[in-house]
A and B are shown apart, each in its own frame.
Chain A
């Protein structure tokens, strides 16, 4: 455990060197990075001495994660271990996929240390209402629950189907599907009094709170994520939906892991400030036009992710999100990101008609 930002930075540099050694050594590295190094003409193990030196590798391209063989991502150091493959998005084309062995367990056990026992009691059961299928979320939440000595009930949501419905404007079907999901969640909540903790997406939380008072149903803690949350949404949730039930938003994805938020409160304008699980992952805010440059504190920029685990190495991946850069805070000894939202793009279509 580090006590200062400089110490944490030194540890990050040391961890970066260890990860580089692992991924670029013929004995432990994966075929993708070994092939990559062969094309470089220089040895990353000799040239990369710090986190900042990762810039020498350029930017990680998401196309590298689309399609197979996924085996090229398995580090030789983990040969023979059971491997999961998790996918992101997938609304169009081939989804990005990432292999995992234990990372999701490690990430969520770390996250578990940030949850107050009063809101997420040990031994309480959980209900997961959200995407499962090819995503890591289902296994991760279930592991979190089991790690806290509970049993996790599951209600599935297929976001790819929802996207298809939205694209063809089938709003009634979207509503029917949402009701179908919420009905199942209500059935579990009514039948199992020991369910006190909830993972749920923001939209499903709204829909669930239209039907019941979660407080009266015995829910004491809500872990919310999966899609964008704005400060206004958090304020709305706290003031009008939750009746005092503890609520923690998170930001994460299959590639990076899970970022924890500072407590969301009125005094901070209900802002959502996330901190990455340094040194296993870093979130930086960079100039969209010059993504090698980290913007100043408080400035807006594009989210740049770096994952540094022995299972998966992803340096400087430009995410389709934007946010403000935030200073280290409390025991979070690295930069955070404030109010993450989709990276805004200008519409290019011609308006037909006077409206």
Chain B
């Protein structure tokens, strides 16, 4: 059986602790994944991190951008097994995996533009030398010796967020999601084949304690997790948290009567990528017509039905662990809905769901789940945007300049779209959840004697 090893600063290591990567349909293992014990992680990161830093420092940023470009092409090579395996353990339809592959490829090959966006066009020499002298000297220093990334299993596209760390000369320590060990390993292997130094990469499938050790032992961290997982790191500035997005579409008074024009955007925002992304809308908040909008959305989303994973039209993912679906379904039923569970070809799905909530206090009013789910709420315009609560991506559809200003000053919105744009549209030079460069580098005052 296929065995995915650890990578200890690029060196393969076959652990005796193994976890099975399970096929979502057959429940049979399709691969064994080496698991890193906490002490091993800690020892590697304590004793050998300097080697990793030095290995990346030997390259210029320009050279690393070129490596990213080559890695992007390598990432796309011979994709069939990768797509089949990722689909098999996550349940994600192959068409969606393919779409996420394209997203990752785009991140690799757009690295120069990505860095320009992240650094706001900082001269690359600053990353290479630590400073740029001249009339207005500038200096940045790395905040930590490595980036620890604790990853989810929901969607491969999420991995594009940490790829720029290599071009920013920051060694990577990656813990993949238990159901999605494939993409992070493929990204790392692509980097190494493209000429990146192997020492710069640690790949540690591990348990909860191992994940915590990664976050503690690396200089900077990035954590993807549910409400409970991110809560325990909420007060640690070294860790960039990626919890639930609670992304929303808002239709204000002035555009409310035109709501039918925005139906496609709402459907795309809710159901794109199987509803598995934090930038998928989980709420549609309007000032009028909530009932009609909910009805229309429900009719459109009801057309999305379970299909075979190989079906190019498949847009809904089954739950790799049916118990997760059942527990979510139980939560929905406690909120007043009938069961949304569906069985298709031996797999468990939750059918796309729209719930019309009468108030923000409704138990399902501001929730996010791993399938196309949205609550529709009617609120007063004067309550916006405060009533929304933390919102990762928000598309506010309005021409009201005064309302736009209120949204622009809101500290609770990660990515703000003004106008009819889907919440899940992404631009690499517009990081929607934290800025990796700001996370990895800090600016200092600097002057050099003539």
When the two chains form their complex, are residues B37 and A354 in contact, meaning their CB atoms are under 8 A apart? Answer: no
When the two chains form their complex, are residues B16 and A269 in contact, meaning their CB atoms are under 8 A apart? Answer: yes
Query: Hey, what's the 0/1 contact readout for B22-41 against A, CB within 8 Å counting as 1?
Result: 00000000000001011110
| B39 touches which of A233, A269, A353 (Cβ 8 Å) | A233
Distance of B386 from chain A, by nearest CB (Å): 22
Distance of A239 from chain B, by nearest CB (Å): 10
CB-CB contacts below 8 Å: B353-378 with A: 367-370
| B242 touches which of A171, A231, A236, A355 (Cβ 8 Å) | A355
Contacts of A235 on B, CB cut-off 8 Å?
16
Contacts of B16 on A, CB cut-off 8 Å?
230-232, 235, 269-270
Contacts of A352 on B, CB cut-off 8 Å?
226-228, 244, 367-369
Stretch at the interface among A288-296, A300-308, A343-351: A343-351
Contacts of A348 on B, CB cut-off 8 Å?
327
| B227 touches which of A171, A202, A210, A353 (Cβ 8 Å) | A353
When the two chains form their complex, are residues B244 and A210 in contact, meaning their CB atoms are under 8 A apart? Answer: no
Known: A350-B330, A351-B324. A232 touches B42 (CB 8 A): no
Asked if B232 CB lies within 8 Å of chain A CBs, one says: yes
Asked if B105 CB lies within 8 Å of chain A CBs, one says: no
CB-CB contacts below 8 Å: B223-266 with A: 224-229, 231-232, 242-245
Q: Give the CA-CA distance A232 to B35 in the complex, in Å.
A: 9
Q: Give the CA-CA distance A233 to B38 in the complex, in Å.
A: 9
In the complex, how many residues of chain A place their beta carbon closer than 8 angstroms to a beta carbon of chain B? 27
CB-CB contacts below 8 Å: B23-79 with A: 35, 37-40, 42-43, 46
When the two chains form their complex, are residues A355 and B327 in contact, meaning their CB atoms are under 8 A apart? Answer: no
Distance of A179 from chain B, by nearest CB (Å): 13
Contacts of A236 on B, CB cut-off 8 Å?
37, 39-40
Asked if B348 CB lies within 8 Å of chain A CBs, one says: no
| A355 touches which of B231, B243, B367 (Cβ 8 Å) | B243
Query: Hey, what's the 0/1 contact readout for B141-170 against A, CB within 8 Å counting as 1?
Result: 000000000001111000000000000000
Asked if A80 CB lies within 8 Å of chain B CBs, one says: no
Asked if A13 CB lies within 8 Å of chain B CBs, one says: no
When the two chains form their complex, are residues B37 and A232 in contact, meaning their CB atoms are under 8 A apart? Answer: yes
Q: Give the CA-CA distance A349 to B326 in the complex, in Å.
A: 11
| B244 touches which of A171, A175, A232, A354 (Cβ 8 Å) | A354
When the two chains form their complex, are residues A354 and B245 in contact, meaning their CB atoms are under 8 A apart? Answer: yes
Contacts of B276 on A, CB cut-off 8 Å?
354
Asked if B278 CB lies within 8 Å of chain A CBs, one says: yes
Contacts of A354 on B, CB cut-off 8 Å?
152, 154-155, 244-245, 275-278, 280, 368-370
Contacts of B17 on A, CB cut-off 8 Å?
230-232
Known: A352-B227, A352-B368, A353-B244. A210 touches B15 (CB 8 A): no
**Nearest residue, chain B, Cβ from A346:** B323
Asked if A35 CB lies within 8 Å of chain B CBs, one says: no
In the complex, how many residues of chain B place their beta carbon closer than 8 angstroms to a beta carbon of chain A? 44
When the two chains form their complex, are residues A353 and B331 in contact, meaning their CB atoms are under 8 A apart? Answer: no
When the two chains form their complex, are residues A351 and B243 in contact, meaning their CB atoms are under 8 A apart? Answer: no
**Nearest residue, chain B, Cβ from A233:** B37
Known: A171-B212, A206-B42, A230-B37. A353 touches B328 (CB 8 A): no
**Nearest residue, chain B, Cβ from A239:** B40
Q: Give the CA-CA distance A203 to B41 in the complex, in Å.
A: 13
Known: A231-B16, A232-B15, A236-B39. A355 touches B328 (CB 8 A): no
When the two chains form their complex, are residues A206 and B226 in contact, meaning their CB atoms are under 8 A apart? Answer: no
Among A206, A241, A270, A348, max chain B CB count under 10 A is at A206
Known: A269-B16, A270-B16. A355 touches B154 (CB 8 A): yes
Asked if A27 CB lies within 8 Å of chain B CBs, one says: no
Contacts of A241 on B, CB cut-off 8 Å?
39, 43
Contacts of A231 on B, CB cut-off 8 Å?
16-17
Q: Give the CA-CA distance A354 to B43 in the complex, in Å.
A: 32
When the two chains form their complex, are residues B324 and A355 in contact, meaning their CB atoms are under 8 A apart? Answer: no
**Nearest residue, chain A, Cβ from B150:** A355
Distance of B217 from chain A, by nearest CB (Å): 10
When the two chains form their complex, are residues A355 and B37 in contact, meaning their CB atoms are under 8 A apart? Answer: no
| B225 touches which of A237, A269, A355 (Cβ 8 Å) | A355
CB-CB contacts below 8 Å: B321-360 with A: 323-324, 327-328, 330-331
| B243 touches which of A210, A346, A353 (Cβ 8 Å) | A353
Distance of A203 from chain B, by nearest CB (Å): 8
Q: Give the CA-CA distance A232 to B225 in the complex, in Å.
A: 27
Asked if B103 CB lies within 8 Å of chain A CBs, one says: no
Q: Give the CA-CA distance A202 to B38 in the complex, in Å.
A: 11
Q: Give the CA-CA distance A272 to B43 in the complex, in Å.
A: 23
CB-CB contacts below 8 Å: A212-251 with B: 230-233, 235-237, 240-241
Q: Give the CA-CA distance A350 to B212 in the complex, in Å.
A: 21
When the two chains form their complex, are residues A175 and B216 in contact, meaning their CB atoms are under 8 A apart? Answer: yes
**Nearest residue, chain A, Cβ from B39:** A206
**Nearest residue, chain A, Cβ from B152:** A355
Among A203, A348, A355, max chain B CB count under 10 A is at A355
Asked if A93 CB lies within 8 Å of chain B CBs, one says: no
Given contacts A210-B42, A210-B43, A230-B37, 13 further A-B contacts (CB under 8 A): A233-B39, A240-B40, A240-B43, A269-B16, A348-B327, A349-B327, A350-B327, A351-B369, A351-B370, A352-B228, A353-B369, A354-B276, A354-B278
B contacts, CB < 8 Å to A: 15-17, 35, 37-40, 42-43, 46, 152-155, 212, 216, 224-229, 231-232, 242-245, 275-278, 280, 323-324, 327-328, 330-331, 367-370
A contacts, CB < 8 Å to B: 169, 171, 175, 202-203, 206, 210, 230-233, 235-237, 240-241, 269-270, 346, 348-355
Q: Can you list 29 A-B contacts with CB-CB less than 8 angstroms, sorted by A residue number?
A: A171-B232, A203-B38, A203-B39, A206-B38, A231-B17, A232-B15, A232-B16, A232-B35, A236-B40, A241-B43, A270-B16, A346-B323, A348-B327, A350-B327, A350-B328, A350-B330, A351-B226, A351-B324, A351-B369, A353-B225, A353-B226, A353-B245, A353-B278, A354-B245, A354-B369, A355-B154, A355-B226, A355-B243, A355-B278
List 7 A-B pairs, minimum CB-CB distance, nearest first: A353-B244, A355-B152, A169-B232, A206-B39, A232-B16, A232-B17, A352-B227
